[in-house]
Amino acid sequence: DACAAEYPRLVRILTLYCGDREVALDLAQDALARGCAHWRRVKVMDDQRAWFTRVALNLANSRWRRLRRERSALGVLAQ
């Protein structure tokens, strides 16, 4: 139930944050999968919504860093 309730909200937040709905869909799904993997801890949290949001934004930030490193490496290889 928690995942079903959080998914649309996470997609909206991530779409605004990333500017790409397809990326947002993937990141939201990854965040919810992590929530399921750690459900014993998550289910007893006072604010599960905040946990899902933080995980989703951390995943988005990691994606940006990875893409930046890939572009940098491609630039070095192209020289």
Decide if 37 contacts 79 (C-beta within 8 A).
no
Task: Please give the C-alpha separations between residue 27 and each of 15, 44, 75, 78, 79, in angstroms, as whole numbers.
Answer: 10, 23, 27, 30, 33
> For residues 50 and 41, what is the distance between their CA atoms, to the nearest angstrom?
13
pLDDT at 72 over 80: yes
Dump pLDDT digits (tens) for 22-59: 999 999 999 999 999 999 999 999 999 999 999 999 99
